[in-house]
């Protein structure tokens, strides 16, 4: 059974919030983040500038978290 088949079967069998939950749990973390950003920004009044700012903010936050995690694991205390 391929993922596409399972995805299609779930959409046929489940509905509503439970369907969204199961499909979200099947996504990779970066796919889920992109999906949720898209859902959060879709709607009336969302402009390209809002999209750009939101994506920029998420990107900056990710890189600062990643930099802190990598620094704590690989750099000696003197270099942090």
**pLDDT tens, 36-54?**
877 777 766 666 676 677 7
Please state the domain count of the chain.
2
Q: Quick one: 16 and 32 in the same domain?
A: yes
CA distance 14 to 6: 12
Q: Quick one: 26 and 58 in the same domain?
A: no
Q: Which of 16-20, 32-36, 51-55, 61-65 has the lowest mean pLDDT?
A: 51-55
Per-residue pLDDT, 79: 55
- Output the six-digit token pair for 11: 């959409």
Q: Quick one: 3 and 38 in the same domain?
A: yes
Residues of the chain above pLDDT 90, percent: 5
Structural domain for 9, as ranges: 1-42
CA distance 42 to 21: 19
Q: Quick one: 51 and 36 in the same domain?
A: no
DSSP state string for the chain: --HHHHHHHHHHH--HHHHHHHHHHTS-HHHHHHHHHHHHH-STT--HHHHHHHHHHHHHHHHHHHHHHHHHHHS-GGG-
Q: Quick one: 37 and 52 in the same domain?
A: no
Q: Quick one: 59 and 73 in the same domain?
A: yes
Q: Is the pLDDT of residue 57 over 70?
A: yes
């Amino acid at each position: 059974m391929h993922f596409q088949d399972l995805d299609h079967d779930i959409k046929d069998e489940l509905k509503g919030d439970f369907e969204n939950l199961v499909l979200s749990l099947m996504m990779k973390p970066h796919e889920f983040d992109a999906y949720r950003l898209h859902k959060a920004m879709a709607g009336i009044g969302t402009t390209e500038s809002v999209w750009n700012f939101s994506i920029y903010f998420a990107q900056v936050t990710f890189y600062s978290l990643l930099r802190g995690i990598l620094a704590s694991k690989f750099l000696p205390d003197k270099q942090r």
